[in-house]
Structure 1
Amino acid sequence: MIKIKTLLGFFIKVGIFCTFLGALVVAGGYFYLKPQLPDVEQLRDIKLQTPLRIYSADQKLIAEFGEKRRVPINYEQIPEPFVQAILAAEDSRYFDHGGIDFKGLARAAFQLASTGRIKTGGSTITMQVARNYLLTLERTFIRKFKEIILSLQMERQLSKKEILELYVNKIYLGNRAYGIQAAANVYYGRDIDQLTLAELAMIAGLPKAPSAYNPLANPPRALERRNWILARMQRLGYIDSSQMAEAQQAPITAAYHGADIELYAPYIAEMVRSDLLSRYGESIYIDGFNAYTTIRSADQRAANQAVVAGLMAYELRHGYRGAEQQWDASLTEQQYLDKLRQIPSYASLEPAVVLAVSDPKAELQNASLLLRTGELVELNWDGISWARPFKSVNSRGPEPTQAAQVLAKGDLVRLLQTDKGWVLRQIPQVQSALVSLSTKNGAIRALVGGFSFQQSKFNRVVQGTRQPGSNFKPFVYTAALASGFTPASIINDAPVVFEDKNLESSWRPENYSKEFFGPTRFREALYKSRNLVSIRILRTLGVKPTLEYIQRFGFDGSRLPKNLSLALGSADVTPLELATGYAVFANGGFKVEPYWLERVTDRRGDELYQAQPMTVCEGCIYVPEPDQTGEDASLTELDTPPLEQELQEGETLTSLPLAPRIIDEQTAYLINNIMQDVIKRGTGRKAGKLGRKDLAGKTGTTNDLKDAWFSGFNRDLVASVWVGFDQPQTLGRREFGSTAALPIWIDYMEQALQGLPEAPLIPPQGIVSVRIDPETGLLAYPGQKNAIFEVFRKQDVPTAAAVRQGASASQDSSEDLF
């Protein structure tokens, strides 16, 4: 007995000594490693790698750029069932321990010693946060010791809620999803607070091994893990038996959901990304920036639809070019499906392969096709019969009478889904661009740079310089009005030959119709787009002074021809430049600068950038912000402090920069009024279907019909549309601005102006309307039946009256009046 007591005492002393020695080792290790450890306090201001998100003006998600999908949330946004599920899966004693679960560590150590593997992890959620945020993932004793020390510090300096919030936002959960909100979006297409208990448990099972328990990659193991977590939740008292049974019986509903793009506007998204990259550098992809554009979602959707519909209509007019590819007719349906899944969709056009075509003798002509989704669809004759063979842009083959004349088994074709079912279509070779902007401040409301961004990332709105043809004439005519011409000025439309040293040879310009119409009123010449009149006007003004005048609209002088071809639109311009120039006609004479980025915020919502566009505000007094030009900036602009100044009637103060006036209000009104006739009685008459009286614009078609344009506006919105081939070639002998571009503009404006009241331009002071003789432009004689009303500057009203028919003419009848 004495020996036993002596031996027991010895072991107690050894135990105490070992404990003391262990404590000394731990303490020594603590004091040795502490200076090397990161400061736990930095976790309060941690920056999670969060992608750049780009939104429309009405906060519809347009694009997301960044390798990691993450949507940080705070603790209050975490559903309680998820908290319970993650604790059941990872750390059931989380709210009870002080950062280290010694029972868990002992259990893990025992499992390792007895079985050679760990079945239940010894790391707490706090330890995982320490490792994920502050340490490396190396498997060493030193790293584990650091992890323990940091966990103890974190528990002293941070609350349990703060630590759990850090955990759920950091963890990787597969498929580029970091954090539980991103995982909910990726796997279920919903936010975390909208998921069922079964779905929450599925996500809670991912941290342990995102690849092994991924419901997309390994559904059986994911289901096993989910049900184990639900059982743990029931044992821990979080849910009852009936809730557990119901959730365990729920099927796997996970499916991959890409970034939840709400608005298709890839061209503007790329413009914003490029802009931000130049401003802030590569950090834009990880710092959680949110960029808000000027794009309106309804306008953008209308623009997308209008461009696709316009190009589809062009294709229907010119015939079917045949299958994109011809695959071996002996392939199996599965082999076809495998090949189809490698073919991308473009715009609304889905790839499909023909499986069977009806017998030529069959009463109903149709075809069976396979989509890349695996769906089998029937294409009836109404969706095929349009497909006359394409021969050239000017000719088509005969109308088909049988489906077999158009389709064959193994053909890779494109289908479009319509209200009446699937129809055969083809990817357009022709391209288009559309841009619209606010005439008040240049904010871009919609932008389409081509048929499909996936097909071609070339942005034709800002990168495609093409000749505008007659779409450019209003700028020359405006210069003429500013120089003394009136809407009633008479210019001779007659043949002429020009010997110009800037041209390679003699130039014999013609009207498109090859006809000449003699003396023509200025107004009529513009809305009927008479080429020879435009050239004579420019020759009278002089090329150099006209170029100087036109450049005030924002055109690049280096791309403007320095000869008389300028009058016919031989300049190189972009659709955005044209739309910006047309905004001046619409807003009464003010120059606005186009912009598309409204504001930028950081991950906390703090504003990093706010646009300050030059704004049309007649009657406004501009008061610069003090931080822009110094404390006395307002006193520099005004003789008296702005708040003390007595404002005149109609005047207001504004801190937005004011758009400069570049043409006088009378000239702006006159050109606007003339361009309304383009739609009322000229080449843009089709726009009359919109039923509005406040629209104006101009068509444009270049030589050999290579480019088709329409630019038009009302007082608030302007839009330009271009149609053509990227490598210039003729569109076809019946394709003009009025047939190719104008229908796209009409489809867009019909939606963009919906619900907006008409906003006609109000005549400024000094503008009068008088009756004139339409043949001479002189005042109408008393009782003249064919007299028309014309608008003039008061000082430009004709002083002479026309004479009655049969009387001698009272004006010079020389052939060339100018």
Structure 2
Amino acid sequence: MNFFSTDVKFLALPFAQANYRNDLRRTLLALSAIGVLTVFVLLGGTLLSILPRLPSLDLVTDYRPKIPLRIYTADGALLGEFGEERRDFTPIQEIPPVLKDALLAIEDARFYEHGGVDYRGVARAVAAGLTGGMRQGASTITMQVARNFFLTPEKTLRRKLTEVMLSYRIESALNKDQILELYMNQIYLGQRSYGFSSAARTYFRKRLPELTLAEAAMLAGIPQNPSKHNPAVNPARAKARQELVLKRMLQLETITQAQFDEAVAQPLAVSQRMQFEAQADHVAELVRQELYARYQGATYTQGFNVYTTLDKAEQNAAYESLRRNVLAYDQRHGYRGPEAYVELPADANEREETIDQALAKHPGSDKLIAAVVTEVSAKRIRAEPAFGDTLEITGNGLRFAARALQPKTPLAERIRVGSVIRVSQDAKGHWAIAQMPEVEAAFVALDAEDGSYRALVGGFDFYRRQFNHVTSAWRQPGSIIKPFVYSAALEKGFSPATLMNDAPLSLPGGADGQPWEPRNDDGYDGTLTLRRALARSKNVVAVRLLQAITPQYARDYLTRFGFDAAKHPDNLTLTLGSGSVTPLQMAQAYAVFANGGHQVSPRLIEKITDARGQVLWEAPAPSKEDRQPVIDPRNAFIIDSMLREVVSSGTGAAASQRLGRSDLAGKTGTTSDAVDGWFAGYAANVVAVAWMGYDQPKSLGAREFGATLALPIWADYMRQALAGKPASERTAPPGVSYVDGDWVYDEFTGDAGVKALDVEMSPLDSIFDAIRKIFGD
């Protein structure tokens, strides 16, 4: 019996274990069901709490992006942009297929197939969230739109569920193309660029239709991490990401193997900062100030488009001319030495970081690039720029700084390892040592008939000194003021044929009780006509002429041209340019001679439109009938003829030689000790002024004059401005006669010239003149 009982218990044990396993299974299933139910309850509760708080979809259904202020030339070239966000709105139909394919390949290949949410991806993301964080990526394009427009970047389950629910609502409100359009215009892509159109301009200086496959793939790789995949900041990571995009496109068969190979091999020129079609930073700032005065904070977000009167080709010609001639002056006066010096660590990583930090303090200036020297000898320099590979300078590229490579050169002026230098590259790709100039310059050109700006360059580099020398630099004008004194003299009965005595002059009133003795730069010529005296820029004759008409009369007369009388002295130094003018003021003044006697007001803004192109403001059309003459048309005609003489055979003859035209008129100006160099002149309907000098006034050099400093800037610009325009001739207005080889007012015909000679020449002067004619100076 006992045996039987024991055997039964032994036989019953497997059945007991089986029941235990079944019970355990049922328990686990029950717990799982409870767990799932709990999750669904929690999710349901979360969803119910989220639903009432879902934001309105107005942001996407009535999309109004923050579009910056943009400024254009009259012919539509972009010259400036202001706003926290660089953004263009581009309709989906205008976005090239290659860019859409690249983006979808890497971000959401099934975009046109799913309903807004990738369930498998969401499941992975939710599971990761329940176990401690959203580490799994699951966002479709639609979900990214929901997040970018409505949500914060925090990674929580609640935020993810909100994103999913918003995605369904977006998909029900918009079609797929509309959603993709929103995404491609809204997404941040680094360097303050929002949307792919803006990014294309920022990184490649291109419009979207101009992008290559390689460029499109690089842009498509940025959204995942704009700071790491930004090609301007991290070209290596951007390249790796680009190749991943191209591989996905190849897998999806949107490109062929040949296209893949070509795109991977294509070198990309990535811009380091925003570039514009017209180089006009000073103009952009003038417009920005004007728009802010009108619209305040809305200026930077409402998408205002401002069209200026500038001509793109002329503006770029002015910019290039000014920089080229400033650098030419700088080269004439020698190399000053490196900009800075840094001690380079031995460790490669520390060395690279030190170079980066040093170059950050010396930003590039257009084609002048900063670099840190890593190897140096008398025949070769190797240096690291802020971008690209190590560059090498040899041969002629070292000539400008040859002295700085000699061991006997003072240490501060010597180029050595660790020196921060400037380099530039020629059209053949050869590098040369250069330097940032210390001198400044300005250039402005106006339409002489209506005052509209054609070009303006306010300084060598706007980002170095945000100061507009055209509008704000008050400088001594030197001899370019003389034509206005001559103009005043015409109203007193003088003519270009009036004879004056170019002989030494001693007057009371000099410094320390000494006599004042104005001098010519090129000696004395005895008796000569006013026409010839202006052409040769004779200082002594100009002083004698001002004596005759009085400084007070001339000073008052200057106001007709827009000059401020308070800025000019009430003494004889006025005629030598001891007052103060701005380049813009001088351009306005010369326009009076160019247009026959009318004063013009500078006009920069042609029209303002909103983001949709609707005109908000437009300048009234200029009318010749509304203009009032400020000087006699006869006066303007005669001074014009004298200014043409200056350029054909006088101090401005280099302009005629450079341009080969007979209708140029203008005047050189050089102040005492060559502190300021000027050229002001015009042809056809274009009047322009060029200036060069130091912000802290000092001599530009004993051999420098307006003809060597400013005239080349003027002439190089005028070559573009006058291209294709025939030479212009002036017709004599009524009331002037050509008498004895020159022009004179009809009422002053007869003995006006003799009277002037009698007034201006003392008996002693006459004796000196006679002796000079016999024996010379």
Asked if Structure 1 and Structure 2 have the same fold, meaning a TM-score greater than 0.5 normalized by the shorter chain, the answer is yes
Q: Which residue of 2 aligns with 1:693?
A: 662
Q: Which residue of 2 aligns with 1:484?
A: 493
Tell whether the 8 Å contact from 1:66 to 1:285 is kept in structure 2 after alignment. Answer: yes
Q: Classify the secondary structure of the residue corresponding to 1:218.
A: helix
Q: Which residue of 2 aligns with 1:786?
A: none
Q: Which residue of 1 aligns with 2:743?
A: 791
Q: Classify the secondary structure of the residue corresponding to 1:693.
A: coil
Q: Residues 425 and 129 from structure 1, CA distance in 2 versus in 1: closer, same or farther, beyond 3 angstroms? A: closer
2: distance between equivalents of 1:339 and 1:41? 45
Give the aligned length.
Answer: 718
Q: Which residue of 1 aligns with 2:577?
A: 569
Q: Which residue of 2 aligns with 1:61?
A: 78
2: distance between equivalents of 1:810 and 1:297? 49
Worse-superposed segment, 168-177 or 373-382: 373-382
Q: What do you get for the CA RMSD once the two structures are aligned?
A: 4.6
- Match status 1:379 vs 2:394: yes
2: distance between equivalents of 1:369 and 1:24? 67
2: distance between equivalents of 1:732 and 1:233? 68
1:668 to 636, 651, 665: 636
2:689 to 712, 716, 720: 720
Q: Which residue of 1 aligns with 2:64?
A: 47
Worse-superposed segment, 606-615 or 744-753: 606-615
Report 1:236-247 matches (<5 A).
239=254, 246=260
Q: Which residue of 2 aligns with 1:159?
A: 175
**Which runs of 5 or more residues in structure 1 are unaligned?**
1-13, 359-365, 390-399, 621-657, 773-788, 803-808
2: distance between equivalents of 1:27 and 1:810? 100
How many Å apart are 1:227 and its aligned residue? Answer: 6.0
Q: Residues 101 and 760 from structure 1, CA distance in 2 versus in 1: closer, same or farther, beyond 3 angstroms? A: same
2: distance between equivalents of 1:517 and 1:249? 72
Tell whether the 8 Å contact from 1:63 to 1:266 is kept in structure 2 after alignment. Answer: yes
How many Å apart are 1:676 and its aligned residue? Answer: 1.1
1:370 to 376, 383, 402: 383
- Match status 1:754 vs 2:754: no
- Match status 1:467 vs 2:476: yes
Q: Residues 100 and 766 from structure 1, CA distance in 2 versus in 1: closer, same or farther, beyond 3 angstroms? A: same
Match for 2:636: what amino acid?
A: A
Instruction: After superposition, give the CA deviation of every residue in 1:481-516 in whole Å (9 maximum; x if it has no partner).
Output: 23432222334445555557x998565242324855
Q: Which residue of 2 aligns with 1:177?
A: 193
1: distance between equivalents of 2:759 and 2:39? 122
Worse-superposed segment, 453-462 or 139-148: 139-148
Tell whether the 8 Å contact from 2:133 to 2:155 is kept in structure 1 after alignment. Answer: no
Match for 1:264: what amino acid?
A: Q
Tell whether the 8 Å contact from 1:354 to 1:412 is kept in structure 2 after alignment. Answer: no
How many Å apart are 1:552 and its aligned residue? Answer: 2.2
How many Å apart are 1:585 and its aligned residue? Answer: 0.7
Q: Which residue of 2 aligns with 1:815?
A: 761
Match for 1:485: what amino acid?
A: F
Q: Residues 134 and 791 from structure 1, CA distance in 2 versus in 1: closer, same or farther, beyond 3 angstroms? A: same
Match for 1:222: what amino acid?
A: R
- Match status 1:596 vs 2:604: yes
Q: Which residue of 2 aligns with 1:450?
A: 459
1: distance between equivalents of 2:226 and 2:450? 49
Q: Classify the secondary structure of the residue corresponding to 2:252.
A: helix
How many Å apart are 1:538 and its aligned residue? Answer: 2.8
- Match status 1:432 vs 2:441: yes
Tell whether the 8 Å contact from 1:593 to 1:613 is kept in structure 2 after alignment. Answer: no
How many Å apart are 1:345 and its aligned residue? Answer: 3.6
- Match status 1:230 vs 2:218: no
Q: Residues 21 and 244 from structure 1, CA distance in 2 versus in 1: closer, same or farther, beyond 3 angstroms? A: farther
Instruction: After superposition, give the CA deviation of every residue in 1:198-247 in whole Å (9 maximum; x if it has no partner).
Output: 6655544544444566674635873685367437735xxxx48x569947
- Match status 1:742 vs 2:750: no
Tell whether the 8 Å contact from 1:354 to 1:367 is kept in structure 2 after alignment. Answer: no
Q: Classify the secondary structure of the residue corresponding to 1:447.
A: strand
Q: Classify the secondary structure of the residue corresponding to 1:462.
A: helix
Instruction: After superposition, give the CA deviation of every residue in 1:386-443 in whole Å (9 maximum; x if it has no partner).
Output: 9789xxxxxxxxxx9x998797644655444456855554433333222222212222
Instruction: After superposition, give the CA deviation of every residue in 1:570-616 in whole Å (9 maximum; x if it has no partner).
Output: 1111111111111111111111112333333332222333334745x
How many Å apart are 1:170 and its aligned residue? Answer: 1.1
- Matched-pair identity in %: 38
Q: Which has the larger share of helix?
A: 2
Worse-superposed segment, 52-61 or 460-469: 52-61
Tell whether the 8 Å contact from 1:316 to 1:386 is kept in structure 2 after alignment. Answer: no
2: distance between equivalents of 1:52 and 1:812? 64
Q: Residues 676 and 188 from structure 1, CA distance in 2 versus in 1: closer, same or farther, beyond 3 angstroms? A: closer
1:303 to 312, 315, 318: 318
Q: Classify the secondary structure of the residue corresponding to 1:792.
A: strand
2: distance between equivalents of 1:799 and 1:578? 34
1:681 to 623, 638, 649: 649
Q: Classify the secondary structure of the residue corresponding to 1:283.
A: helix
2: distance between equivalents of 1:595 and 1:680? 31
Match for 2:249: what amino acid?
A: L
**Which runs of 5 or more residues in structure 2 are unaligned?**
1-33, 766-777
2: distance between equivalents of 1:814 and 1:247? 85
2: distance between equivalents of 1:663 and 1:129? 65
Q: Which residue of 2 aligns with 1:579?
A: 587
Q: Which residue of 2 aligns with 1:647?
A: none
Q: Which residue of 2 aligns with 1:530?
A: 538
Q: Residues 675 and 388 from structure 1, CA distance in 2 versus in 1: closer, same or farther, beyond 3 angstroms? A: farther
How many Å apart are 1:472 and its aligned residue? Answer: 0.5
2: distance between equivalents of 1:425 and 1:108? 56
1: distance between equivalents of 2:558 and 2:204? 55
Report 1:255-294 matches (<5 A).
256-257=270-271, 258-294=273-309
1: distance between equivalents of 2:41 and 2:400? 92
Q: Residues 717 and 515 from structure 1, CA distance in 2 versus in 1: closer, same or farther, beyond 3 angstroms? A: same
Q: Classify the secondary structure of the residue corresponding to 1:487.
A: coil
Q: Which residue of 2 aligns with 1:551?
A: 559
TM normalised by structure 2 equals: 0.79
Q: Classify the secondary structure of the residue corresponding to 1:292.
A: strand
- Match status 1:78 vs 2:95: yes
Match for 1:605: what amino acid?
A: G
Q: Classify the secondary structure of the residue corresponding to 2:474.
A: coil
2: distance between equivalents of 1:321 and 1:753? 37
2: distance between equivalents of 1:141 and 1:514? 87
Q: Classify the secondary structure of the residue corresponding to 2:737.
A: strand
How many Å apart are 1:700 and its aligned residue? Answer: 1.4
Q: Which residue of 1 aligns with 2:27?
A: none
How many Å apart are 1:555 and its aligned residue? Answer: 1.6
Q: Residues 765 and 611 from structure 1, CA distance in 2 versus in 1: closer, same or farther, beyond 3 angstroms? A: same
How many Å apart are 1:531 and its aligned residue? Answer: 2.6
Tell whether the 8 Å contact from 2:222 to 2:238 is kept in structure 1 after alignment. Answer: no
Instruction: After superposition, give the CA deviation of every residue in 1:317-365 in whole Å (9 maximum; x if it has no partner).
Output: 444444445677998997796687444444544446484444xxxxxxx
Match for 2:554: what amino acid?
A: T
1: distance between equivalents of 2:689 and 2:152? 55
Q: Classify the secondary structure of the residue corresponding to 1:384.
A: helix
2: distance between equivalents of 1:149 and 1:605? 36
Instruction: After superposition, give the CA deviation of every residue in 1:754-782 in whole Å (9 maximum; x if it has no partner).
Output: 32211122222233223x2xxxxxxxxxx
Tell whether the 8 Å contact from 2:247 to 2:260 is kept in structure 1 after alignment. Answer: no
2: distance between equivalents of 1:424 and 1:28? 69
